[in-house]
Structure 1
Amino acid sequence: MLQYLDEVARSGSIRAAGAKLHVAPSAVNRQILLLEEELGEPLFERLPRGMRPTPAGEVLLAHVRRTMQGYREAVAEIRDLQSLPSGEVVIATMTGLASSVVSAATMSFHARYPEVRISIRVMSTQEILRAVANSEADLGLGFNVPSSGQLEICWQMDTRLGAVIAAKHPLARLESIPLAQCASYPLIFADRSMVIHGIIADTFAAAGIRVEPAFHTNSIETMKRLAAAGEAIAFLSRFDIAEERQSGSLAFRPVRDRAFSDNILSLVRREKHGHGLAGLLFAEEIMGTLESVVA
């Protein structure tokens, strides 16, 4: 029926539309009459030399053509799926995410699509923004990526920081930990070059808790190793330690009495940019892995 309406409007007559579609003109006319009766509005003006859409017909035709275009695109995507994707997908991300969420997604994706090469590039937040905007990376995954008209957000969540401790830490028995109680143990702070340094330091200051961290580092991997090795406490998101939580070497505990400020994790790609099938499928894989961490 959608094709009947579209072709009558294009051809200007029911007879010409029937001939184009290889359908009896009476069948085309019957469908249009039934639809007009259902809508309670004429869709075409019957003129001596053909048919012209009414205002109601123009509204419906716009919808019809969008629907048909969407259908054609869906059919094209289904046909693409019949052949395995290939090529390279570049993802720009941060060090903790690269070794946890992105690594897990990459291994799962590679098992199903071995012909696709995945390049993982570790960058700062600003570098991720530039790499995706300049098409140097297909995808960007990072914390607190600045908004940009050039970027499309595929997935986003506020992933507040919490206490990251060894599985056998004395505080691991608690479901959440008071911030003041953390101060009784050696603390691991991100250094001033990292955005999360300000989030952590400001939270302790706002709570009126004076602390002198035992360790400073700009390496997420080092923070995780220090926490796993003893009673030191790091402050990271649950996404930074996805692999370690699964293996049981580290635990994540929310801070009970004083929430850390926003720590937004975003998966982005360039807006209005031709996305290859491999890139679209890998983005879906990343989002699935992120959702599994939340669950």
Structure 2
Amino acid sequence: MSTSRSVLALVNRLRFKHLSLLVALDETGNLHQAAAEINVAQPSASRMLANIEEAFGFLLFERRARGLHPTPLGQVTLAYARRTLTDLQRFAEGLEVKRRGGHGQLTVGAIMGAAPDLLAMAVADLKAERPLLNVRILGETSDQIVELLQRGQIDFALGRFTHPLQHNEFDFEPLANESMRLIVRAGHPLGSRRSLRLAELIELPWVLQPLTSPARRLFEEELAHARLASPGNVVECGSIFATLQLVQNSDAIAMLPEPVVRDHLRAKLLVMLPIEIGRNLEGFGILTRKHETLAEPAERFVALLRQYSQTPRVAGGAATAA
């Protein structure tokens, strides 16, 4: 059979139910649970998997004592299955919005530390122009939104690379840098100090982002440069909101982007410690999948992000004239 005919035969045999089964198997690692997820009997799911693997001509999952694990080729197939199912879901949701008289859907991944005022102003303008456009904002850290982008679950991302090889998958357009600040609650014993050394803080409790995050890597690099060990008393937290709550209700120290803590500092809920954390965190920007054209609403939103990233913002977050 020629290559083109074999590809056509594969396409003809694959169904969305098959793709749903593959994703369910990846998430559960168990044929019985996966069958229940897609509402079919286990024998039917077993036959479906056998038919899929026969169609592809290779095993998609290794059968181990602790369950099913995707093979290397299976991982590639699963990535396609997730993208296809996500595209179908987004198409159906967009179609429903239009049926009800709406004007489409825009799903964006964004790191919450990246100039929240920039994101908020762009969203406000977009909604003012298109009040019936359904806008969804997902994610919080760079590793989360890159995964969403890989899976096709968002149109584009506002964030940064988390791995040196990701430029092979995504295009990146820088927008701005982030300045990091060490903060504590108002009334903290260190809050009134006018000078501090990083070494004085290592034995204190900290709330830090996960090790996979660029901000945490920056912090650990700063410690290494100062020949200091990592703090021992640490709560790892990927949520900006939870970090703010933890700091305000304990004596912990956190390192957060200046735009995130700006309003809390102004309201005297938090205090900034007099320590500079090295260089700015590597700039954030717009991440898009290579060789993929953005839909018109996404293009407009990107244009607004560019516009506000080039407009100076005063301490209150409002835009000022350039």
TM-score, length-normalised on structure 2? 0.50
2:141–2:238 contact (8 Å) kept in structure 1: no
Equivalent in the alignment of 1:221: 241
Tell me the equivalent position of 1:281.
Answer: 300
> Take 2:234 and 2:212, find their aligned partners in 1: how far apart are those partners?
17
In the alignment, what sits opposite 1:87?
104
In the alignment, structure 1 segments of 5+ residues that lack a partner are 1-84
Q: Determine if the alignment matches structure 1 residue 234 to structure 2 residue 254.
A: yes
The residue type equivalent to 1:273 in the other structure is: E
1:34-45 alignment runs, 5 A limit:
none
Opposite residue 300 of structure 2, the aligned amino acid is L
Measured after TM superposition, the shift of residue 184 of structure 1 is 6.7
2:160–2:287 CA contact under 8 A, matched in 1 = no
The whole-number CA distance in structure 2 between the counterparts of 1:214 and 1:92 is 27
8 Å CA contact 1:161–1:254 kept in 2: the answer is: no
The letter of the residue matching 1:234 is A
Q: 1:110 corresponds to which letter in structure 2? A: K
Structure-2 change in CA distance of 1:294 and 1:185 (3 Å): farther
Secondary structure class of the residue paired with 2:123:
helix
Q: CA deviation at 1:95?
A: 5.1
- Taking the TM superposition and a 5 Å limit, the aligned residue runs for 1:28-39 are none
The answer to whether the Cα contact below 8 Å between 2:215 and 2:281 also exists between their aligned partners in 1 is no
Residue identity in the other structure for 1:140: A
2:126 counterpart SS class: helix
Question: Whose relative contact order is higher, 1 or 2, with alpha carbons under 8 Å and at least 6 apart?
Answer: 1
| Bigger Cα displacement from structure 2, 232-241 vs 101-110 | 101-110
Residue 106 in structure 1 maps to residue 123 in structure 2: yes
**Secondary structure of the residue that 1:148 maps to in structure 2?**
helix
Question: What is the distance in 2 between the residues matched to 1:121 and 1:127?
Answer: 9
Local SS of the residue matching 2:258: coil
Aligned partner of 2:138 among 118, 121, 124: 121
> Aligned to 1:263, what secondary structure does the other structure show?
strand
- C-alpha deviation, 1:219, in angstroms: 3.0
Helix, strand or coil at the partner of 1:91:
strand
State how far apart, in whole Å, the 1-side matches of 2:143 and 2:250 are.
Answer: 33
Q: Is the 8 A contact 2:170 2:288 kept in 1?
A: yes
Aligned-partner Cα distance in 2 for 1:196–1:155? 17
Match of 2:184 in 1: 165
Distance 1:207 1:108, change over 3 A: same
Shift of 1:106: 2.8
Cα deviation per residue 1:58-87 (whole Å; 9 max; x = unaligned)?
xxxxxxxxxxxxxxxxxxxxxxxxxxx942
Structure 1 contact 166–230 (Cα < 8 Å) conserved:
yes
When residues 144 and 227 of structure 1 are mapped into structure 2, their CA distance, relative to the original with a 3 A threshold, is farther
Cα deviation, residue 186, structure 1: 3.2
Q: 1:177 to 1:128 in 2, by over 3 A?
A: same
Aligned length: 210
2:214 and 2:127 mapped to 1: Cα distance?
32
Q: Secondary structure at the match of 2:216?
A: helix
- Structure 2 distance, partners of 1:202, 1:94, is 21
The percentage of counterpart residues that share the same residue type is 16
Give how far 1:249 is off. Answer: 3.4
Measure the CA separation in 2 of the matches of 1:281 and 1:174: 46
Q: Report the equivalent of 2:154.
A: 137
One-letter amino acid of the counterpart of residue 247, structure 2? A
Question: Which amino acid is the alignment partner of residue 239 of structure 2?
Answer: S
Within the alignment, does 1:207 sit opposite 2:226 as a pair? yes
Of 110-119 and 150-159, the range deviating more from structure 2? 150-159
Q: How many Å apart are 1:118 and its aligned residue?
A: 0.8
- Report how far residue 145 of structure 1 moved: 4.0
Shift of 1:265: 1.9
Equivalent residue, structure 2, for 1:77 = none
CA offsets per residue over residues 18-54 of structure 1, 9 Å max, x none? xxxxxxxxxxxxxxxxxxxxxxxxxxxxxxxxxxxxx
Mapped to 1, the partners of 2:123 and 2:194 lie a distance apart of: 31
Conservation of the 8 A alpha-carbon contact between 1:242 and 1:293:
no
Structure 1 CA distance for aligned equivalents of residues 313 and 236 of structure 2: 27
Structure 1 counterpart of 2:288:
269
Q: Give SS of 1:279's match.
A: helix
Residues of 2 paired with 1:88 and 1:106: CA distance? 13
